[in-house]
């Protein structure tokens, strides 16, 4: 079941939001859903990257050259 939320935007962001809706030809719900989906994807990616960085640094890999040296 869809969840309804309410947000308050500063005037400048509200104007930009309304302009984007008009340019994209989508509803506020579609826009917010797409923006939230994209944000959560990027968040998952960053969290995974952070975990991976810790693991590879523990193996002495700190730069692209370190990776190249290992696979060459």
50: Cβ contacts below 8 Å, ≥ 6 apart: none
Q: Give the whole-angstrom CA distance, residue 29 versus residue 4.
A: 9
Q: What is the pTM of this model?
A: 0.70
> How confident is the model at residue 66, as a pLDDT?
86
Rounded to 5°, the CA angle 42-15-37 comes to 20
CA distance 66 to 69: 5
Interval 11-70: pLDDT, tens: 999 999 999 999 999 999 999 999 999 999 999 999 999 999 888 888 888 888 888 888
Q: Are 28 and 21 in contact (CB under 8 A)?
A: yes
């Amino acid at each position: 079941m869809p969840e309804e939320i309410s947000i308050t935007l500063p005037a400048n962001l509200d104007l930009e939001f309304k302009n984007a809706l008009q340019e994209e030809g989508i509803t506020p719900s579609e826009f917010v859903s797409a923006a939230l989906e994209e944000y959560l994807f990027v968040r998952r990616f960053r969290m995974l990257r952070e975990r991976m960085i810790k693991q590879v640094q523990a193996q002495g890999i700190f730069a692209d050259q370190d990776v190249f040296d290992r696979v060459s």
